[in-house]
Each structure stands twice: as C-alpha cells, then as structure tokens.
Structure 1
Amino acid sequence: MNSLIRFFWFCSGANFSILKRTPTESNKYVGIGATVFFTGVLAALAAGYALFTVFQSIWPAIGFGFLWGLMIFNLDRFIVSSMRKKENTWAEWKLAIPRLVLAVLLALVISKPLELKMFEREINRKLDEKKTEFITQSKANLAKGFPEIQELEVKIDTLKREVEDAEAFRDKLQQEYDAERFGEKTTSTSGIVGLGTNAKKKEQQLDAAQSALNSLRERNQVRIDTLEAQIRQFMALRQQEFEKQQPGIEGFDGLAARMDALSALTEESGAMALANVFIMLLFIAIETAPIFVKLISPRGPYDELLELHEDKVKLFKSEKWTFAKGESEARVDYFQGTHFYAMQLKKEKTNRKNEVETSKEIGGMG
C-alpha cells in the first residue's frame, strides 16, 4: 500500500520529504497522481488503437502507443507539478490558463481515437457503404474507358434484329399460306379452299423465306459469336483494371477514412453527435481535473512548506550573491590599491634616476 501511495505521489509531481511532514495532504496528491496516471493509460490505449489502424500490426502499435502514453503522462505531471498555490487567486488563474488550454488540447487528441473505437460498428457500416459507392463508380468509369464493348453490343443487337425481322416476315408468309389453304378471304388470299395455284405460290414464297431465314441465322450467328468473343476479351481487360483498383478500395480503412466516416455519421445522426460531444467533454474533464483540484483546493500545509523551502533557496541565493559580490569588490579594491602604490614607487624611482643622470651630465660639462 505504501508503495502504491508513493507511486501516486510521484505521478502528482509532489515533493516526498514535504508530503511526509504533511500527512493531511497525502490523499489530495494521491488523487491527483492517480488522475494523471490513468490519463496517461487512456492516452496510450487511444494512440495504440489509432496507430494500429495505420500500421495494421500490433507490435508497432503497442510500442508507439506506450511512448505516446509516457509523453502525455510526463506533460500532465509537469503541468500539475509546476502549479503553485498563491494567496492571490487571480495570479493562480493567470498561471493556470495556459495549462488549461494545453490540457484541453491533450484531451481532444486523446479522445478522438477512443471515439473511433466506441463507434467502430457504425463506422464500419459507413465504410462499407463508401466502398460500395467506390466500386460502382469504378465500374462506371471503367465502362466509359472501354467504349468498344458498347459498340460491339450495338452491332450484336443489330444482327439479332435482322434475324427477328426475317422471322417476322416468314411468320407473315406462313399465316398467308395457311389462310390460302383453308379458304380464308383476305386482301392477299383468294378465299378458295385447297392447294390451288395461289396456295402453291404462297408455299414457294414461304419456302424461300424460310431458306433465307436459315441462311441469315447461320451467317449472323457466326458474326455474333465473333463479336461476343471480342466483348469477352475487352471485359477481361476491364476486369483486370478493376482488380488493380480493388486493393485500394478494400484498403479504404485508414485513420483519415474513419474520422471522415465519424464526421458523416455525426452530421446524419443527432444522437451520435450528442454522444460524440459528451465523450469529448468527459475526456476534457478528466484531463483538466488535476488542475482544477489544485485551483479550487485551499492553501494547505504542503503549499506553505513548499513556499518556505523555495523562499529559503531564494534567500540562500541572495546571501551567496551578496557574499560573492563583497569578496569581488574587496579583491578589486585591493588590486587597485596595490597597483596604484606600485606605480607610484616605480615613478619615484624613475624620477630619482633621471635626476642623478642629469647631475652627472652637468658635472661633466663643468
């Protein structure tokens, strides 16, 4: 238990020696440290999931997620430990505002991958819809890229219509022949029952039409088979092009695609938009909780002792600086004094020497 408490103390960035002297402050800093620690854990999980969608491999995702969690943990720990309780509330808030902005940004970064995980099923359905749209669009674009297929299909339809027209003409002659045999009176029959001259003419016309139809069928069928073989070749080429695009469509599952799908879902559904906002607010509350705890909590014995310790360091620094400054000034004065005295001695010595030499010169001249 003591090890766990000390670990959370460390997470809060508190000074152990001071906390041991203020046991009433222990629970507050245990709570702050636990919040910082679990925020780092959530950041690691969020980054691990986000990077797994990028690398599609678990080990790089675990490694980078662990590093990201450590970085967020270190930032949160620094933000909390760098705050100081002052007697001036406005001064505290001025110092806390930049830290709160940073905490909100961290919360937004942490919450987004976890939102993607929470709405994974809905996002997968949206991505499937997008993939279906891409497949349809790809096929339409490929169809435009192979106009030969449509041209060949038009030729096949023309050949089939020729056969259908020939069949319709044969059927018409068949009806006229039957009407002539059975004595039905029409504009093209005599109305006499039996196989008379008109009936034989109709039969000859029918046989000729049937023969022409058979020849046309064989001839057009050969053409149709040739055209269909060409169509199959073009369709094989089109399928190859589609298969080249298929991996890109199937791989439409990255982080940016999922964020785009989540954005589209929140625009389509008010409930999802509301849930998305609440999740972001939850992480913002978690990330800013240690800062607000320090802001709203009263100034306690830990803060007093910490300020006393810092003031002692400042006072010790001032004393050291005053002592060092005094020593430096004394050395400067000593140097200036001794240097000035030496210069005076040297100057007097030089003057005496000059006087002696001048006297000698005057005596020599006399």
Structure 2
Amino acid sequence: MRSVQNFLWFCAGGYRPLLNRSPTESNKYIGIGGTVFFTALFAGLAAGYAMFTVFENIYVTITLAILWALLIFNLDRFIVSTIRKGKSTWAEVKMAIPRLLLAILLAFVIAKPLELRIFEKEIARELDNQKLRMLKETRGGIDEGFPEIEELESKIASLKSETDAKRAFRDEKQQEYDAERFGVKTPGTSGIVGLGTNARKKEVQLDDAERDYQETQAANREKMREYEEEIARFNTIKEEEWAKQQVSVDGFDGLAARMDALGTLTQNSVPIYWANLFIVLLFVVIESAPVVVKLMAEKGPYDVLLEKHEQGIYLYADEKWHKTATESKDRLEVFDTLQPEVKDAWIAMKRKEMEGRYGTAL
C-alpha cells in the first residue's frame, strides 16, 4: 500500500520528503496522481488501437502504445507539477492557461482513436458504401479510357447490318424466283408456271445475290474476327487495370479513410454527431482534470513547505553570492593599497603561471 501511495505521489509530481511531513495532503496528491496515471493509460489504449489500424502488427502496436502513454504521462506530470499555489488566484489561472490548452489539445488527439473503435461497425458500413461508389466510378473511368472498344463494336455492328442486308436481298430474290417458277402472280412475276425466260432471269438474279451475299459474309466475317481480336486485347488490358484498381479500393480502410468515414457519419447522422461530441468532451474533462483539480485545491501545508524549501535555496544562493562578492571586493581593496612594484611583480608571477598552464605567451 505504501508503494502504491509513493507511486501516485510520483505521478502527481510531488516531493516525497515534504509530503511525508504533510499527512493531510496525502489524499489530495494521491487523487491527482491517479488522474494523471489513468489519463496516460487511456491514452495508451487509444493509441494502441490507432497504431494497430495502421501497422496491423501486435508488437509494433504495443511498443508505440507504451511510448505514447509514457509521453502523455510525462506531459501531464509536468503540467501538474509546475502549477504553484500562490497568493493570487488570477496569477495561478494565467500560469495554467497554456497548460490547460495543451491538455485540451491532447484530449482531442487521444479521443479520436476511441471514437473510431466505438463507431467501428458504422464506419465499416460507410466504408463499404464508399468502396462501392469508388468501384462504380473506377469502372466508368476505365470504360471511358478505352474508346477504341466502342468504335470497334460499332464497326462490327455495321458489318453485321451490311451482311443482314445482303441476306435479306438474297431472300427476296429467292422468293421472286420461287413465285415465278410456280406461277404465282405478283407485281414482279409473270404468273406463268415453269422455267421460262422470266424464271431463268430470276434465277440469274438469285445466283448473283447469293454470290454477293456469300462474298460479303466471308469478307465481313474476317473483318469481324480481326475486330473481335482487337476488342479482346483491349478487354484484357482493361481487366488488368480493373484488377489493379480493385486491390487499391479493397485496401481503402486505413486510418485516414476511417476518419473520413466518421466525418461523413457525423455530418449525416445527428445522434452520431452528439455521441461523438460527448466522447470528445469526456476526454477533455479527463485530460484537463489534473490541472483543474490542482487549481481548485486550497493552498495546503505541502505548498507552504515547498515554497519555504525553494525560497531557502534561493536565499542560500543569494548569501553565497553576497559572500563571494564581498570577499572579492576586500581583496581588490587590499590589492589597490600595494606598491606599484609589488603589483607588477604579482602580475608577472600570475602571467608566468598562466603561460606554464596553457603554454601560450600572454
């Protein structure tokens, strides 16, 4: 129990010999030290979550979390230990304002990883939505980056239309030839049954149409095959680029992305906004608690003894300086009363001593 008390005194920046002489101050500094310790502990846990999000390595996370906790502990201990209880409350407040601002800044830094942890599920859902939007935009951008595919598909469609037109013309000539043979009366046939002159003419037209269709179909089929090979090549390049972009989008879940998602959630959801604000305020209260407690505390025996101890050191230094200055003044007065030749001899002696010590002629 005694060791715990001494540790908390240390956390509060207290001087143990003076606290031992001030039993009534013990609980106050135990409370301040506990606040400093638990603030650093929470800071380490929050930093650990943030570091694990970034590095995803437990050993690196533990190391950096401990370092961050020690940093916050040292800063808080410094803030608390440098606030002195004086006669003027306003002087104490002015002295504490920069330290209070620093505490508030640290609170915002510490609170952010904890916010990310608390709203982890909501952030994950928002990240999924953002990834879907990014994938859609990426797919559209990649498609726009390959206009050759659309041009080739348009050429293939044109070739198919040309082939279809030739086939339709061939089919039309086939119907006219059949109608002429079987004596079907139409605007383009004679209505006489058999293979007469008109039927033979229709047969020649059909043969020409068939030949033209076959030649066009063969030529267009070759061109379409070449165009389809080009499309396949472009599609391969496009899919490779798409695979690269998918890897990039899938990795969009780092610390910055999560913070951006949290910002989006707080803008779109009033409950999340207020919950986020209360978490920040909670850490502001926790981080600034040591400073506020120290300001609210009455000046006690420990503060009086500490002030006496420090003033004693200042007084001792002043006395030593005054004594040294007085002795120096007395020596100068004695030196001034010496004869000129004695002064010169003394100066020459000192010069030789300096030359022998430093090896340089003065």
Fold similarity call, TM over 0.5: yes
Match of 2:105 in 1: 105
Match of 1:331 in 2: 331
TM-superposed CA distance for 1:104, in Å, is 0.9
- Tell whether the 8 Å contact from 2:163 to 2:216 is kept in structure 1 after alignment: yes
CA distance in 2, matches of 1:13, 1:240: 61
CA distance in 1, matches of 2:146, 2:66: 51
**Inter-CA distance 125–203: structure 2 relative to 1 (3 Å threshold):** farther
**Inter-CA distance 219–344: structure 2 relative to 1 (3 Å threshold):** closer
CA distance in 2, matches of 1:251, 1:121: 17
Most deviating of 147-156 and 124-133: 124-133
Q: How does 1:160-175 map to 2 (within 5 A)?
A: 160-169=160-169
- Tell whether the 8 Å contact from 2:182 to 2:193 is kept in structure 1 after alignment: yes
CA distance in 1, matches of 2:208, 2:309: 121
Instruction: Tell me the secondary structure at the aligned position of residue 42 of structure 2.
Output: helix
**Inter-CA distance 69–195: structure 2 relative to 1 (3 Å threshold):** farther
**Inter-CA distance 183–23: structure 2 relative to 1 (3 Å threshold):** farther
Amino acid at match of 1:237: I
Most deviating of 325-334 and 13-22: 325-334
Paired residues, number:
343
TM-superposed CA distance for 1:205, in Å, is 6.3
TM-superposed CA distance for 1:194, in Å, is 7.5
TM-superposed CA distance for 1:103, in Å, is 0.7
Match of 2:42 in 1: 42
CA distance in 1, matches of 2:30, 2:235: 70
Match of 2:312 in 1: 312
Match of 1:127 in 2: 127
TM-superposed CA distance for 1:55, in Å, is 3.0
Most deviating of 102-111 and 16-25: 16-25
Amino acid at match of 2:131: K
Once the two structures are superposed, what CA deviation does each residue of 1:254-310 show, in whole Å capped at 9, x if it has no partner? 332222222222222222222222111111111100110011122222222222222
Instruction: Tell me the secondary structure at the aligned position of residue 84 of structure 2.
Output: coil
Greater Rg by CA? 1
2:5 aligned with 1:8, yes or no? Answer: no
Instruction: Tell me the secondary structure at the aligned position of residue 125 of structure 1.
Output: helix
**Inter-CA distance 26–230: structure 2 relative to 1 (3 Å threshold):** same
Instruction: Tell me the secondary structure at the aligned position of residue 97 of structure 1.
Output: helix
CA distance in 2, matches of 1:267, 1:195: 86
Q: How does 1:4-153 map to 2 (within 5 A)?
A: 4-153=4-153
CA distance in 1, matches of 2:34, 2:42: 12
**Inter-CA distance 289–207: structure 2 relative to 1 (3 Å threshold):** same
Match of 2:352 in 1: none
CA distance in 2, matches of 1:171, 1:65: 82
Match of 1:280 in 2: 280
Instruction: Tell me the secondary structure at the aligned position of residue 253 of structure 1.
Output: coil
CA distance in 2, matches of 1:183, 1:266: 84
Task: Please tell me the root mean square deviation across aligned C-alpha atoms, in Å.
Answer: 3.2
CA distance in 1, matches of 2:279, 2:181: 90
- How many percent identity over aligned positions? 52
Match of 1:343 in 2: 340
CA distance in 1, matches of 2:199, 2:275: 87
TM-superposed CA distance for 1:219, in Å, is 4.1
TM-superposed CA distance for 1:185, in Å, is 7.6
- Tell whether the 8 Å contact from 2:46 to 2:111 is kept in structure 1 after alignment: yes
Most deviating of 170-179 and 52-61: 170-179
CA distance in 2, matches of 1:129, 1:181: 69
TM-superposed CA distance for 1:251, in Å, is 2.8
2:298 aligned with 1:301, yes or no? Answer: no
Most deviating of 137-146 and 194-203: 194-203
CA distance in 2, matches of 1:261, 1:129: 10
Amino acid at match of 1:293: V
CA distance in 2, matches of 1:113, 1:237: 41
Most deviating of 60-69 and 151-160: 60-69
CA distance in 2, matches of 1:8, 1:184: 115
Unaligned runs of 5+ in 1: 347-366
Match of 1:249 in 2: 249
**Inter-CA distance 178–278: structure 2 relative to 1 (3 Å threshold):** farther
Amino acid at match of 1:288: S
**Inter-CA distance 167–268: structure 2 relative to 1 (3 Å threshold):** farther
- Tell whether the 8 Å contact from 2:48 to 2:61 is kept in structure 1 after alignment: yes
Match of 2:359 in 1: none
Match of 1:230 in 2: 230
TM-superposed CA distance for 1:200, in Å, is 8.7
Amino acid at match of 2:323: F
Most deviating of 24-33 and 67-76: 24-33
Once the two structures are superposed, what CA deviation does each residue of 1:326-363 show, in whole Å capped at 9, x if it has no partner? 322222223323x2xx33899xxxxxxxxxxxxxxxxx
**Inter-CA distance 322–128: structure 2 relative to 1 (3 Å threshold):** same
**Inter-CA distance 140–345: structure 2 relative to 1 (3 Å threshold):** closer
TM-superposed CA distance for 1:72, in Å, is 1.1
Amino acid at match of 2:294: K
**Inter-CA distance 343–11: structure 2 relative to 1 (3 Å threshold):** same
Q: TM-score, normalised by structure 1?
A: 0.80
Instruction: Tell me the secondary structure at the aligned position of residue 87 of structure 2.
Output: coil
